[in-house]
Structure 1
Amino acid sequence: MKITIIGAAGMIGRKLAERIAQTGAIGGQTVDAMTLVDVVAPDVATDFTGQRVSYAADLTEAGVAAKLVADKPDVIVHLAAIVSGEAEADMDKGYRVNLDGTRALLEAIAGVPDYCPRVIYASSLAVFGAPFPTKISDDFNLTPLTSYGTQKAMGELLLNDYSRRGILDGVGIRFPTICIRPGKPNKAASGFFSGILREPLNGQEAILPVDDDVRHWFASPRAAVGYIEHAAMMDTAPLGAQRCMTMPGVSATVAEQIEALRAVAGDEAVALIRREPDATIASIVAGWPRDFDTVRALETGFRAENSFEEIIRIYLEDEMGQSA
């Protein structure tokens, strides 16, 4: 089987490629060839025993999408995107990358005779906008309130339509906020969700800019890779015409995150969290969804963690090499 990962230099793309290199398979299916593409050449999966191609390319440039599908990969994982803050700050760039790039890929697939690949599309909780019910169900309308959310919602509709027409076999994954993200702190509004755990676990101070009662929807990087692995080989017939789903996760407040940290790493780690209110971040986070009822995803075999303590222990295992 051939797989192409677009956006392979990002955190999820890199971990997915490393997982495939480690196992030689995805979703139980042997991978013979893997192509890794991003705007910078991905440098991962060097131990992959099959055919491996890695190069830099911009999906929005003429001819790139056609090159990506020329060898008819069986599975295409589309992770490439301009994320929320940048898409809001630069509207033209957001639509060019998140919408035009996605459509270019789908049109390139449509132009290849006798070809119908599995396409896994990375979407976002940003397709939902307030006001929210206490728990968002699978039939809640897409009502984005940002350019990024709008672009992702349009991508979901395209995936549905091209799947309906038999051009491709799509699965759309709305990722929870991924936590704990490895690496250094960043300036993303959601970065503190990982930071208040990652930094204390590494013996460093962390800044908490919001109140303890802020609630959000989370999953680990390991779960994120698992979603894609499952989506690659699942039976899509039960999805019908609606190919996009919110993934399972853990709904937790900041206070619950902190107590999970205490349970795993003790009071000394919690003491490294410094409260420093930020009205701007608090305002942004107040407009985010908090909890989901992910019946469709669970019924079709997707899985995630069951507690925030489990998410923390996965970080210790996967990123710090510690037995949990």
Structure 2
Amino acid sequence: MRIVITGGFGFLGRQVAGALLRTRTFRGAPIDRLVLADRIVPADARAVADPLVEVVRGDLVDRLDELFAEPVDVLIHLAAAVSAECEADFDLGMSANLDTTRALLEAARAQSAAGGPMPRVVFSSSVAVYGSDPALPLPPVVSESTLPTPRSSYGIQKLVCEQLIADYTRRGFVDGRVARLMTVSVRPGRPNAAASGFLSGIVREPLAGLPALCPVRPDLRVALASPRRTVAGILRVAEAERGAGKGRLDGGLPVNLPALTVSVAEMLSTLRQVAGDSVADLVTITPDPGVEAIVGSWPSVFDNTRAAALGLEPDPSFASVVREYIDDHPDAVLAGTPGL
């Protein structure tokens, strides 16, 4: 069993790799090789020392021959340019998201055509595929049957990739499956260029004793998932058997991973309850119409039926999300923070 993770040293890539290395199996079969592909490999990356791990460094399109030098059984495609990056640089988004995904699909198709195993391709899509078009507003509750009408270049690119994967699967080139991720909060580490990055920053930075800006109105409602629930969702979609019935992946539709719906005001109130006034007061509301236009176009309430059939559930509360972050990253929390 040879598994390739693109974006293997990004935040989610490291988390997915860590989960696989802990079990060392995929669908009950032993993993022989876990290939982590990324443009940048941190010097302190722990996974590099594991005997199962192989590292491929560089631009994915330039490393396809290396990635497919041996048969790929599972390809978990997490590498992407994020939302605000794609809005600021159209060519970057088209290259990193659309062109790279198609190149990976073509390499997977070539493997099947040459008599090799049909790769299981797992694609991380996004809630950004949805948007409220003036002529076709979103329904109050969104499901996989809701027509996606993205309002950002990032959302468009993710949706196009979803459709490519659906057609490559229909044609029998790959076994494709798509997990649509909610906004992941709370992400550790440095801020990234995602428009939704503040949904981690307004918790992460204050807990570290740093000021944070909130660029949207407090009553804006958003759909979130913790890192743990997101990783569990990606791997569940990856491992699920195809077919009808509970616990199986039926049809060719993407799976919207479970969403916790919460307002920004509720997030800040929870931070105040968990960590105290001095921490919560480090957040300043500073409206940014560009950020709100992107994040505000995404739905916030989801029908989680399809994910629940796979055994996936949303986080129970935002308080549990904050406490999970504190438990997982104690070194990132300022010592002596009130309430902790």
- TM-score of the superposition, structure 2-length normalised? 0.87
Quick one: structure 1 residues 181 and 114, their matched pair in 2 at CA, closer, same or farther if it must change by over 3 Å? same
Name 1:125's counterpart in structure 2: 127
Quick one: structure 1 residues 219 and 27, their matched pair in 2 at CA, closer, same or farther if it must change by over 3 Å? farther
Query: Residue 185 of structure 2 contacts residue 200 of structure 2 at CA under 8 Å; is this kept in 1?
Result: yes
TM-aligned CA deviation for residue 186 of structure 1 = 4.2
SS class of match (1:190): helix
Quick one: structure 1 residues 228 and 254, their matched pair in 2 at CA, closer, same or farther if it must change by over 3 Å? same
Query: Residues 1-324 of structure 1 correspond to what in structure 2 (within 5 A)?
Result: 1-26=1-26, 29-41=29-41, 44-46=45-47, 49-61=50-62, 64-112=63-111, 113-130=115-132, 131-238=137-244, 239-320=249-330
**1:201-231 deviation digits (Å, cap 9, x = unpaired):** 2222222222210111101111221122212
> Equivalents in 1 of 2:72, 2:193: separation in Å?
35
**1:28-73 deviation digits (Å, cap 9, x = unpaired):** 5432211110112365343764432112132233xx3243123112
AA aligned to 2:98 is L
> Equivalents in 2 of 1:219, 1:16: separation in Å?
15
TM-aligned CA deviation for residue 27 of structure 1 = 5.5
> Equivalents in 2 of 1:32, 1:311: separation in Å?
34
AA aligned to 1:72 is P
AA aligned to 1:178 is V
RMSD over aligned Cα, in angstroms? 2.3
SS class of match (1:36): strand
Which deviates more, 7-16 or 196-205?
196-205
Query: Residue 42 of structure 1 contacts residue 56 of structure 1 at CA under 8 Å; is this kept in 2?
Result: no
> Equivalents in 1 of 2:283, 2:313: separation in Å?
30
Q: What is the number of equivalent residue pairs in this alignment?
A: 322
TM-aligned CA deviation for residue 189 of structure 1 = 2.6
Which deviates more, 118-127 or 293-302?
293-302
Quick one: structure 1 residues 47 and 41, their matched pair in 2 at CA, closer, same or farther if it must change by over 3 Å? closer
Quick one: structure 1 residues 260 and 26, their matched pair in 2 at CA, closer, same or farther if it must change by over 3 Å? farther
**1:150-208 deviation digits (Å, cap 9, x = unpaired):** 11111111111112222221210111001011113345432221111112222222222
Specify every segment of 5 or more residues in structure 1 that has no aligned partner in the other structure, as ranges.
none
Specify every segment of 5 or more residues in structure 2 that has no aligned partner in the other structure, as ranges.
333-339
> Equivalents in 2 of 1:110, 1:161: separation in Å?
12
Query: Residue 152 of structure 2 contacts residue 294 of structure 2 at CA under 8 Å; is this kept in 1?
Result: no
Query: Residue 78 of structure 2 contacts residue 123 of structure 2 at CA under 8 Å; is this kept in 1?
Result: yes
SS class of match (1:116): coil
Which deviates more, 21-30 or 302-311?
21-30
AA aligned to 2:322 is I
- TM-score of the superposition, structure 1-length normalised? 0.91
SS class of match (1:8): coil
SS class of match (2:308): helix
Query: Residue 24 of structure 1 contacts residue 31 of structure 1 at CA under 8 Å; is this kept in 2?
Result: yes
